[in-house]
């Protein structure tokens, strides 16, 4: 693995993600909804497409041999050890209804393992950067996941895939978590929840079958901030998975949260 590539990718990503974020900030509450995206009520705005164009174009110029997968454009380029995942506007539905909860996410993977994650929240001007083996920062300051002396007085993030909808097992688990913690959060902007966990603002995440361009930057953020990411069997999560079921938290809370998830699925 060429660390020069990662460093150059980091510098590029920080620059272009701010450019994309500026578009979202300027057009917040002043945009056009272009069309419905699917049968689940998702939409695509002009911001998704404008931000994506900026990011993809500059990555292709800087790293022409790399493969890119972006939320709207799909797969670009031939299969390669290096794969970029782009979510130009994570939280589009929030953006579309005037809810200021959205980010832009860029991930670089090497042989399907994330090595760089950059997430930008434009309205608060918070830039999260994570590099494999180098930790996670928010606006250049290191952040660390926190341990809660009483987890059940804490806040747990819930993330589910669009296709999950009201799957009976998901509803059962979601309700079980909801009544056992101070708050169960559903932001519909997954990358922001991963950043909140890395930063110590929430205490855990339970993810139910939600894979996409917004996943792997967040996973790297949490791991590099000292957290763990495991599957529902308790095994460390690595690589990529089309149907992930995950728990993320401080290592101190692994058994507690795993126990809750298993109970909630009975």
Q: What is the DSSP string of the chain?
A: --HHHHHHHHHHHHHHHHHHHHHHHHHTTS--EEEE-STTS-EEEHHHHHHHHHHHHHHHHH-TTSEEEETTTEEES---SEEEEEEEEETHHHHHTT----EEEEEEEETTEEEEEEEEETTTTEEEEEETTTEEEETTEE------SSGGGSEEEEEE-TTTTT-HHHHHHHHHHHTTSSEEE--S-HHHHHHHHHHTSSSEEEEES--STTTHHHHHHHHHTT-EEEETTSPBP-S--SS-EEEEE-GGGHHHHHHHHHHHT-
| Residue 89 marked in a binding site | yes
Q: What is the DSSP string of 188-223?
A: S-HHHHHHHHHHTSSSEEEEES--STTTHHHHHHHH
32, pLDDT greater than 80: no
For the segment 186-198, the average pLDDT, to the nearest whole number, is: 97
For the segment 187-206, the average pLDDT, to the nearest whole number, is: 98
Q: Give me the CATH number covering residue 254.
A: 3.40.190.80
For the segment 262-266, the average pLDDT, to the nearest whole number, is: 96
> Does 104 lie in the same domain as 217?
no
Residue 220 near residue 116 (C-beta atoms within 8 A):
yes
Q: Give me the pLDDT at residue 53, please.
A: 96
Q: d(Cα 101, Cα 124) in Å, to the nearest integer?
A: 10
Rounded mean pLDDT of the chain?
95
For the segment 168-192, the average pLDDT, to the nearest whole number, is: 97
> Does 130 lie in the same domain as 165?
no
Residue 248 near residue 197 (C-beta atoms within 8 A):
yes
Identify the domain boundary among 110, 142, 174: 142
Over residues 97-133, the pLDDT tens digits come to 999 999 999 999 999 999 999 999 999 999 999 999 9
Per DSSP, what are the bridge partners of residue 33?
Answer: 45
Q: Give me the pLDDT at residue 232, please.
A: 98
Identify the domain boundary among 122, 142, 162: 142
6, pLDDT greater than 80: yes
Q: Give me the pLDDT at residue 226, please.
A: 98
Phi/psi at 261 (5° precision):
-65, -45
Instruction: Name the band, by pLDDT with cuts 50, 70 and 90, for residue 40.
Output: low
> Which two tokens mark 208?
């139910």
> Does 198 lie in the same domain as 118?
no
> Does 155 lie in the same domain as 129?
no
Q: Give me the pLDDT at residue 30, please.
A: 86
> Does 213 lie in the same domain as 92?
no
> Does 161 lie in the same domain as 136?
no
| Residue 116 marked in a binding site | no
Over residues 148-171, the pLDDT tens digits come to 999 999 999 999 998 899 999 999
> Does 68 lie in the same domain as 104?
yes
> Does 128 lie in the same domain as 12?
yes
> Does 125 lie in the same domain as 36?
yes
> Does 218 lie in the same domain as 175?
yes
Over residues 79-98, the pLDDT tens digits come to 999 999 999 999 999 999 99
| Residue 48 marked in a binding site | no
Identify the domain boundary among 91, 111, 142: 142
Q: Which domain holds residue 251?
A: 151-264
> Which two tokens mark 119?
């997430």
Q: Give me the CATH number covering residue 131.
A: 3.30.540.10
> Does 127 lie in the same domain as 8?
yes
| Residue 151 marked in a binding site | no
> Does 79 lie in the same domain as 23?
yes
| Residue 178 marked in a binding site | no
Structural domain total, the chain: 2
Q: Give me the pLDDT at residue 41, please.
A: 62
């Amino acid at each position: 693995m060429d660390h020069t590539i990662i460093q150059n990718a980091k510098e590029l990503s920080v620059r272009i993600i701010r450019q994309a974020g500026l578009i979202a900030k300027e057009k917040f509450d002043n945009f056009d909804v272009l069309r419905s995206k699917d049968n689940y009520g998702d939409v695509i705005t002009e911001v998704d497409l404008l931000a994506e164009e900026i990011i993809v174009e500059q990555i292709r110029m800087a790293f022409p041999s790399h493969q890119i997968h972006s939320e709207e454009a799909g797969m670009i380029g031939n299969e390669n050890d290096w794969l970029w995942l782009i979510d130009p506007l994570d939280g589009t539905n929030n953006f579309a209804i005037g809810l200021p909860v959205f980010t832009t996410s860029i991930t670089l993977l090497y042989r399907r393992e994330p090595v760089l994650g950059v997430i930008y929240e434009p309205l608060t001007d918070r830039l999260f950067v994570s590099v494999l083996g180098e930790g996670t920062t928010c606006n250049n300051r290191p952040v660390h996941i926190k341990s809660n002396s009483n987890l059940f007085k804490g806040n747990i993030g819930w993330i589910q895939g669009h296709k999950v909808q009201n799957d009976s097992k998901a509803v059962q688990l979601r309700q079980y978590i909801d009544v056992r913690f101070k708050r169960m959060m559903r932001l519909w902007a997954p990358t922001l929840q991963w950043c909140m966990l890395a930063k110590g603002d929430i205490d855990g995440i339970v993810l139910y079958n939600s894979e996409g361009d917004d996943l792997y930057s967040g996973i790297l953020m949490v791991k590099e901030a000292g957290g763990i990411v495991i599957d529902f069997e308790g095994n460390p999560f690595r690589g990529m998975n089309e149907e992930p079921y995950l728990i993320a938290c401080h290592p101190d809370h692994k058994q507690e949260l795993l126990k809750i998830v298993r109970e909630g699925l009975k």
